[in-house]
Structure 1
Amino acid sequence: MAAFTMGSPPMLRLLSGEAARRFGGRAAVDSGSLVLSFAELDRLSDGVAAGLAHRGVRMGDLVVLALPDGPEFPICYLAAAKVGAVTAGLRPDRPVPPARLDPALVVAAPGTALPGLEVVTLPLRDGPAGRRPYDPGRLGALYRSEPPPPPLPPDPRRPVAVVFTRGAVRRADGGTAPRGAVFSTRRLEAVRAHGAGLRWGTGEARLLSRPLGHLTFMTRLPVFLQTGRTALVPPRWEPETVLRILAEQRLGVLQGTPGQLAELLSHEAAAAGGPVRLPYLRMVLSSGGAPAAELIRALRKRFGVPVCNRYLCTEAGLGLGTRPEDPPEDAEHTVGRPRGGVSVALRDSSGRSLPPGEIGEVLLRSEAVADGYYRDARASAGLFTRDGYVRTGDMGYLDDAGRLSLVGRASVDTQSRA
């Protein structure tokens, strides 16, 4: 295969092939029981792409993944991208009725009942105990031992992923359902450029704290592919499991939501064996909302490493953060400054820009913002300001150093923090 070059916005197909060439047998996904290499990820997603095409999935069709976290999710996600289809992962914490999405195909785990939809059920049987190489038989009849369809012409605006938010849209029956933020190739390229730049193979393994259908994986798969980063995907985020993986894998970064990190500290405080030694840990990342100052201080005291915040909403793609070299009080009282390529603005209800110290709605803008909401033109129109900022729905203020502090939610809760 020819070497991948950073010309036009890279397609997931090209990144996958180059990652297979560069990293080969290195683990791309490790679920604790199954290990999938970068070479297998590319090869098996080729076969599933052939299977999707055989079933009539075409460019622009929606493929819904109703799958547990594990190797099958990225295989099918890449396969859909290789045929130009759009992927939506159903997250267990934010259920969405698949029928409302009108997908061309649903790829599901056993026991998933979705009447009226074309469903391919994968035979995800439990294997013997212990870690073992990935078994392609888990892909069932969806996999075909033949080449995938020919590559599609580059199109930066082609939709690739739908990521669901907490912000809800009201249905005709009076209920509500999460909105789906759409990310095209050019949006994933902006995330890739920010997270990897021109570097190849510099990523260390990372324990994922969110489901694979979350923004964290759906938009950052290009970064995982380019950096050769192993995605450690436990069946569920449990303190005991997380601490064991951190120690066994010698991980340098612990990432979680404020709730997850607080749960981890509580678990350790109650554990009879005392704190787990984590000599390789370099940093703790809190993401998904502003943590309490007491939690930041407790994490810093327990682990003896810098604690940093990450802030964005699902629709923004990229956001703000504190850095390890920042003063400790930055993470205790703010969510940091804009990351590279991100602009932040604070405005009142009339759209007036606010000076430091005044509270207003937080607006974010970058090349990574969502293209809009899936099949919801009205909500898409209300997502952006006239000058292209995303309305986060959060309220806050900037200080004189450009650091953002959050104080609550706007009166109309439309978006969700990632």
Structure 2
Amino acid sequence: MPTSDSPWLDKTLTDLLRENVERNPDGPAIEWGDTTLSFADLDLQSDRLATGLAEQGIGSGDVVSCQLPNIPEFLILHHAVSKRRAIFNPIHMAYRSSEMEHIVGFAESAMLVTGPPVKGFSYAEMGMDIQKRHSSLRHVVSLGEERPPGSLSLAELGQSPARAQEEDPQPQDPFLMLFTSGTTASPKATLHTHNMRMSNSWFCGKDMELRESDRMLCCSALSHMWAILNYWSSVIYGCPQVLLTRYRPEAFVSTAAQGQATVVIGAPVHAVDLLASPDLNPDDLASLRLFALSGSVCSPDLVRRLRNTLKGCTPVVFWGMTETGGGFYTRLDDPPEVIEKTAGRVSGGCTIAIHDDKGSTLPPDQEGNLVIKSPFGIHSYFKNPKATRESFTENGWFQTGDLAKIDSAGNVQMLGRRKEEINRGGTKYLPESVEEVVRRHPGVHQVAIVGMPDERLGERAVCFVVPAQGKA
């Protein structure tokens, strides 16, 4: 097991799935509506799909891009790609032709797997159009029953007979590619090995006190690092993943209640919408013990209201990035004021600091630039030396772009993004501090403050408010 001296788990995603099959083959691995896949089912179905991928020439180092929602096929494909020693590249469902062509072309994807049409839009047809301009894209695969000529069927690939692969994946194999943004002049792609991500997920799951009896409900899209990191934790600790294809408060409540979820993975917006929902009956969510929040700023007021509404459920605030995975977070036994006002302490194996603008480390409680060193983080961007030089210091610190301070106990208080700092006539401040005051008003559901050009002051603040239900 990882320790502070040796933080590596030295296992692959495939190793961890097989350990669950040996230990608890009939235990639930994935639950989605009325569908339940045991660990043995998941292993067998991903074996079959791995054979189908092999028959199409997918092997070590090939990039398989995937644009699927939170459904079992997403995770079956993830395991199958891992078994082929290929690289899994999940892409957000909202992306269309310009973003997709940028990603598929830059990654030199060998295969693109798409979902069924949604509201008349065909993801597979978009993929076939992109294929015309990118010779590296050998296959477009569709989950839908109706697919364009020349595309392959994911269901048919998954019906291939299961057979042992030529060689098993190794902990140091790259197995995941995630993009930090869509279309930019300087694309920022991150490449991760099994050992980086499984080791980091082991520490995160340990501090969340995950166990086989837990049931993890994921609200965030699995194409985000935050969501898929916690899926790996569920595999490591042997608990089922309850999938929610599309987040809506009423769907969340019914799925959590029906599935007796104990752990929720989401973003602050999910908690905001849940607390504002007329469908919320806290008794329906009595099984919850932990609500993990990440992805955007989490206000003290939101954490307080979540804790007061869902009795017996502890909010946990996480900080992480695509480049780093889980960096720091609050713990279950932290006092309420720590959970409400900070993003907790550093994860095992990682080191964080606050630097001034000259790169010197600042003492506790001093505001400055948040930097992190992590054995689980990338050390360069994929095919982008310019972005690497701009983001990493000479002695290996990754510059997150966040402004923060660290107290004497090691808890991090996030102050905002450096790029979001507003300079009003020479007075600089972060919008989060004002947003928190506005957010306390009972008539406010959501608030955002942004800087706008001003002829006299150079920049001024503009406040956008979404009123609470019935308060408009």
Instruction: Give yes or no for TM over 0.5.
Output: yes
Among candidates 90, 103, 111, match of residue 109 of structure 2: 103
Distance 1:200 1:330 in 2: 21
**Structure 2: stretches of 5+ with no match in the other structure:** 1-6, 117-121, 132-136, 147-152, 422-472
1:394 matched to 2:394: no
**1:250 paired residue number:** 260
Q: Which 10-residue stretch deviates more, 21-30 or 377-386?
A: 377-386
Among candidates 350, 355, 380, match of residue 388 of structure 2: 380
What is the count of residue pairs matched by the alignment?
387
1:119 matched to 2:139: yes
Q: Which 10-residue stretch deviates more, 157-166 or 80-89?
A: 157-166
Distance 2:15 2:281 in 1: 47
Q: Which 10-residue stretch deviates more, 106-115 or 39-48?
A: 106-115
**1:150 paired residue number:** 166
Among candidates 195, 199, 222, match of residue 190 of structure 1: 199
Root-mean-square deviation (CA, aligned residues, Å) is 2.8
The one-letter code sitting in structure 2 at the alignment partner of 1:106 is: L
**2:322 paired residue number:** 314
Q: Which has the higher contact order (CA 8 A, sep 6+)?
A: 1
Q: Where do residues 11-410 of structure 1 align in structure 2 (5 Å cutoff)?
A: 11-93=12-94, 96-97=99-100, 98-110=104-116, 111-112=122-123, 113-114=126-127, 115=129, 116=131, 117-124=137-144, 139-152=155-168, 154=170, 156-166=171-181, 170-171=184-185, 179-195=188-204, 202=212, 204-267=214-277, 270-271=278-279, 275-305=282-312, 306-410=314-418
Q: The residue matched to 2:78 in structure 1 has which SS?
A: helix
Q: Which 10-residue stretch deviates more, 313-322 or 372-381?
A: 372-381
The one-letter code sitting in structure 2 at the alignment partner of 1:89 is: P
Mapped contact 1:395–1:408 kept (Cα < 8 A)? yes
Q: Which 10-residue stretch deviates more, 58-67 or 366-375?
A: 366-375
Q: Which 10-residue stretch deviates more, 400-409 or 114-123?
A: 114-123
How far did residue 142 of structure 1 move? 4.8
**1:131 paired residue number:** none
The C-alpha deviation readout for 1:371-418, integer Å capped at 9, x for no partner, is 4333323323433233333221111111222211111112399xxxxx
- Does the C-alpha gap of structure 1 residues 37 and 153 become closer, same or farther in structure 2, counting only changes over 3 Å? closer
How far did residue 145 of structure 1 move? 0.8
- Does the C-alpha gap of structure 1 residues 62 and 381 become closer, same or farther in structure 2, counting only changes over 3 Å? farther
Q: Which 10-residue stretch deviates more, 245-254 or 38-47?
A: 245-254
Distance 1:229 1:182 in 2: 27
How far did residue 82 of structure 1 move? 1.1
The C-alpha deviation readout for 1:135-174, integer Å capped at 9, x for no partner, is xx962235411414222473x43211012324x6632xxx
Distance 1:334 1:164 in 2: 27
Q: The residue matched to 2:180 in structure 1 has which SS?
A: strand
How far did residue 90 of structure 1 move? 0.8
The C-alpha deviation readout for 1:275-309, integer Å capped at 9, x for no partner, is 54332222332222331121122112211233221
Distance 2:370 2:210 in 1: 34
Could you state the TM-score of these two structures normalised by the residue count of structure 1? 0.84
Percent identical pairs in the alignment equals 26
How far did residue 94 of structure 1 move? 5.7
The one-letter code sitting in structure 1 at the alignment partner of 2:291 is: V
Could you state the TM-score of these two structures normalised by the residue count of structure 2? 0.75
